[in-house]
A and B are shown apart, each in its own frame.
Chain A
Amino acid sequence: MTKHQRKDRHSRVGPATLLITVSVFFTASLSLAQSEPTVSDSVPVDSQAVASIAPVTSLIVEDFKYDDGEKLLLSWIPSIDDVPEVGRITGYEVYRITDGGEPEKIGDLVAGKNSYEDDGLSRESQYQYYVVALSDGGSAMSVMTAPSSPEREWINFGRTNLFLVALIIGGAIIFFIGSARRGKKLFVRKIAGLEAVDEAIGRATEMGRPILFIPGIRDMDDVQTLAALTILGRVAEQVANYDVQIRMPVSRSLVMTAARETIKAGFQTAGRPDAYNDDMVNYVTDEQFGYVAAVDGVMVREKPATVFLLGAFFAESLILAETGNSVGAIQIAGTARPAQLPFFVAACDFTLIGEELFAASAYLSGEPKALGSLKGQDVGKGIAMAAILIGVASATLAELTGWGAMTSLLEIMKGLFSSQ
């Protein structure tokens, strides 16, 4: 047999062989397909479905907006088997892979959840995530996300409204401070408790008894303590003028330092620096009720004619005010703690309510900075009143008439005054 004959023979049997091969492959494929489990159409090619539940889909990881670069936000479409009535999905597990390392479970979520915030991350690392849907019979893993890192944003544009409000109020304060410095007289209404200050100091002079000044129990980082010390400056000046004793037990060492400075300055302003004595202010203890016990002791033993309770007070307010009342002292109190104001109103002769305490310090000092600040805050109150009027009017009209324009206006107002 020649080469050509062999070639012809091969060419003749070729189609038959091909037919047999295709038949065998088709039959084998069919039998193989019948022996494999059925996989849901919704399962992606690269998922590893263990049981017959569908995994979550559209898993997205994105940077959490306006943070310091420590957080990533994961979101996904829940498994199509996550139906509350059926209850096949029992929950989800969130896994994280850091810099290509081993997967680490970072969260257990209940069924129905479609997002997760991963906090405490590093900007220098790459993170990948996948979510495993759980059922009683098994689990289904989602696709894995691409590597991503959290990013730091320098400006939080979500708080633009806050910035604008701060800018307006801050601008108003600067404007009024400038006006006061240029000599313009800024009007501040009379505050009832303040008119009693001179009278109370005069009473102590007539009775020959000391004045007790309590600046609250908070430290120098509390604005109420600062306001109290500003008023103390004015009181110290009057004390030096009238040549009356002042006692000031404090519960914070920094307040003691600042109070000594303030009284010293007051005595110098009055032209009597020689009458100043460091013992006028003494530290007692940081412990709240230890301090109260000591101040109560001072009250009943020295029987002050006048007691000033100005600053940040807590549970001790009524104890102090009642003891001062029991020794017959005229009491001028003031705090911005709403829970303690009722006690001062009940037990003291004059009470500076909330912001009156800060207004009083500005009023008494007469400094351009303090007065300008007070006037600037009044601009803020004007904004608040106007906003409330517009907001309530639009909400009411929207309810009464159903006008779309009113609803839109209300939404705009809510957006402007939102701190999200």
Chain B
Amino acid sequence: MSRTGIVVFLVVCVLFVVSWVVKAGTGDPEGHYIRDGFLVTFAAFLTLAIMSFMYKDNPYYKFAEHLFVGVSAAYWMCLAFWSTLVGNLVPRISERLSNAFMVPHQPGEYNFFFYIPVILGILLLMRLSPKGGWISRWPLAFIVGTTAGLNFVRYLRSDFINQINSTFLPLAVDWQGFGHFFSNLSLNATGQFVAMFGNCVIFFGVLCGVIYFFFSKEHTGWFGRASRVGIWVLMITFGASFGYTVMGRISLLVGRLTFLLRDWLGIAS
């Protein structure tokens, strides 16, 4: 570690301790003020350590990264074990195991279906066996196949049938002739022109978008031109979506800054 690195490290340590002492001093004397002061200071340190990545990779970011990865990996493993295996499976298959894990047994009719995931899970662990590794492909195939089958009907309804149904829109709305149309022409959001324009955008946008995703024909001629309109429609949609999502991310940043300025430093109300 360079001299500058050591100096920065010492400064960070001193700031950490000072922050801890100050936060503990301003905490509730009847509560866990030393622990609470440490937790707030540590959370602020981790926040700043992660944010320091915007400057460049550094030891503080590495520390926060490794801590985050290690803790979350262990947490997810424990969660999967205690909620899926112990929480859902054990109470249904064995009273003795339920007592061992101190979870209430759920007696009921014998149901073979509860053992299927057990068998598939064991087969999946055969991956660890040098000779029986191929067996682990069977549960994988089962997972992929059942998911594909279940999703087929779901997507066929939501992404195909319902989408087509929603596109059955008249290109002329409240039509009473050209004279009436031009005499009442306005950009009013609830007006006839805007309604017709909206329906036209949906119709041509959907049609050209589908043409863009048609892979069995070369995109040349009128088909190619419609395809280019389709990609333009997609890009305009992406632009609007980009702005919308960025605003959501800004609100996340505001949340983090609020923690630093209000909960940690106490300089914002």
Contact = CB atoms under 8 A, between A and B. Distances in A.
Contacts of B218: 187, 189
A389 B204 CA distance: 10
Contacts of B136: 257
B148 A223 contact: yes
A284 interface: yes
B185 interface: no
A296 to B, nearest CB: 7
A110 interface: no
Nearest to A191: B215
Contact of A395 (B72, B152, B169, B241): B169
Interface string B211-231: 101111111000000000000
Contact of B245 (A187, A284, A339, A410): A339
Contacts of B241: 338-339, 341-342
Interface string B136-163: 1100100110011001110011101111
Q: Which 6 interchain pairs have the tightest Cβ spacing?
A: A287-B72, A391-B168, A342-B242, A290-B72, A342-B238, A221-B147
B168 A287 contact: no
Given A166-B152, A226-B144, A381-B214, A399 B245 contact: no
A329 to B, nearest CB: 15
A265 to B, nearest CB: 11
B127 interface: yes
A410 B238 CA distance: 32
B69 interface: yes
Interface stretch (B4-12, B32-40, B58-66, B261-269): B58-66
Contacts of A374: 215
Contacts of B62: 297
Nearest to B227: A189
A207 interface: no
Contacts of B153: 162, 166
Contacts of B161: 161-162, 165, 417-419
Nearest to A317: B245
Interface stretch (B19-27, B96-104, B170-178): B170-178
Contacts of A286: 72-73, 76
B255 interface: no
A388 B168 CA distance: 6
B73 A285 contact: yes
A387 interface: yes
A396 interface: yes
A414 interface: yes
A413 B165 CA distance: 8
Interface string A384-405: 1101110110111011100000
A398 B168 CA distance: 12
Contacts of B235: 345
Interface string B184-221: 00000000000000000001001100110111111100
A187 to B, nearest CB: 6
Nearest to B234: A353
A410 B170 CA distance: 10
A339 B238 CA distance: 8
A234 to B, nearest CB: 17
Contacts of A410: 168
B161 to A, nearest CB: 5
Contact of B239 (A188, A289, A342, A384): A342
Interface string A174-189: 0000000000000111
Given A353-B234, A359-B215, 10 more contacts: A166-B156, A254-B140, A257-B127, A287-B69, A287-B72, A380-B160, A388-B168, A388-B210, A392-B167, A417-B161
B164 interface: yes
B50 interface: yes
A286 B237 CA distance: 31
Nearest to A413: B168
B115 interface: no
Nearest to A258: B140
B144 A385 contact: no
B81 interface: no
B76 A388 contact: no
A261 interface: yes
Interface in A353-384: 353-356, 359, 374-375, 378, 380-382, 384
B73 A287 contact: yes
B146 to A, nearest CB: 8
A74 to B, nearest CB: 28
A343 interface: yes
B232 interface: no
Contacts of A389: 207
Nearest to B218: A189
A392 B169 contact: yes
Nearest to B73: A285
Contacts of A392: 167-171, 203
Chain A CB within 10 Å — which of B56, B140, B160, B210 has the most?
A: B160
Interface string A263-298: 000000000000000000001111101110110110
A220 interface: yes
